[in-house]
Amino acid sequence: MASVGAFERVIGKRSTPVDPVWLEQHSRRYGSVELDIGTGDGRYVLDAAREDSERLVIGVDAVAGNMVESARKASASTRKGGLENAVFFRGGAEQLPGPFFDLADWVTINYPWGSLMRIVAEPDTDALRGIRASCKLGAGLRILLNYTVISDRPYLERLGLGALVDPVDNPSLNSAYKGAGFVLDGCQIFSGDPPVRTRWGRQLVRGAARQTLSIEATAGAARDAQWDET
């Protein structure tokens, strides 16, 4: 299991070591937990937390600086608009589950790029197992991908994703997710503006000509033995 020490909690410009006891106790205050992986600037986390005060929304990103402003807003006093049900952590998707083992009722990945896009679209079964280990049994997984650029091979090659196969046509997609412990529920392409507010997502898919691929899955019973707690 990836070490808890691979993650840090981001509170404004400060980063502190993860306190697993605090995280467990805090999560119990809420009816459900959502984990937003590759959260970027964290706007989605703030929106989701405001929308449902009974849900703890956790944003995770490999770059702490991306989340500074949203983390500052969330950690403010409730009188000043702070959100106790929105928290942020620095850490890479490849390091999951870390402190989030068996924690999430719902996982979102909104317009990933770079290594995270490779993990979910190529896909990388080993890294997906780490995401699965962050989920409770029956947890939902929703991934929104910038589908328009998948057909732009030169652009993907410049990003080091030249070998990426269109997920819609990839015969290995289902087996890869199944091997990671997910039941793939379906893929759907839609056009127009993204359904969630992320700065990166709006830059990528703004306009009617842009397309988004939604991949949805459920965390099944299968688990790799390496994630069993000791």
Instruction: Parse the chain into domains and list their residue ranges.
Output: 4-227
Four-point Cα dihedral 6, 10, 15, 19, nearest 10: -60
104-110 and 135-146 beta bridge pairing: parallel
Write the pLDDT tens digit of every residue in 167-222: 999 999 999 999 999 999 999 998 876 666 555 444 444 555 678 999 999 999 85
Contacts of 23-28 spanning 24+ positions with Cβ under 8 A? 23/99, 23/103, 26/56, 26/87, 27/56, 27/103
Tokens of 128: 């997906």
What does DSSP assign to residue 27?
A: H
16-21: average pLDDT: 95
- Edge to edge, the sheet with strand 86-90 lists 14-17, 8-11, 86-90, 55-61, 32-37, 104-110, 135-146, 211-219, 182-191
Write the pLDDT tens digit of every residue in 28-61: 999 999 999 999 999 999 999 999 999 999 999 9
Distance CA 146, CA 21 (A): 37
118-143: average pLDDT: 96
Nearest alpha carbon to residue 100 among 206, 219, 201: 219
Backbone angles phi, psi at 189, to 5 degrees: -105, 135
- The answer to whether 125 touches 174, Cβ cutoff 8 Å, is no
Tokens 């929105």 correspond to what residue?
86
pLDDT the model gives residue 196: 62
Tokens 């990671």 correspond to what residue?
180
Helix, strand, or coil (residue 119): helix
- Residue 158: which residues within 8 A CB-CB, separation 6 or more? none
Domain 4-227 in this protein, CATH class: alpha beta
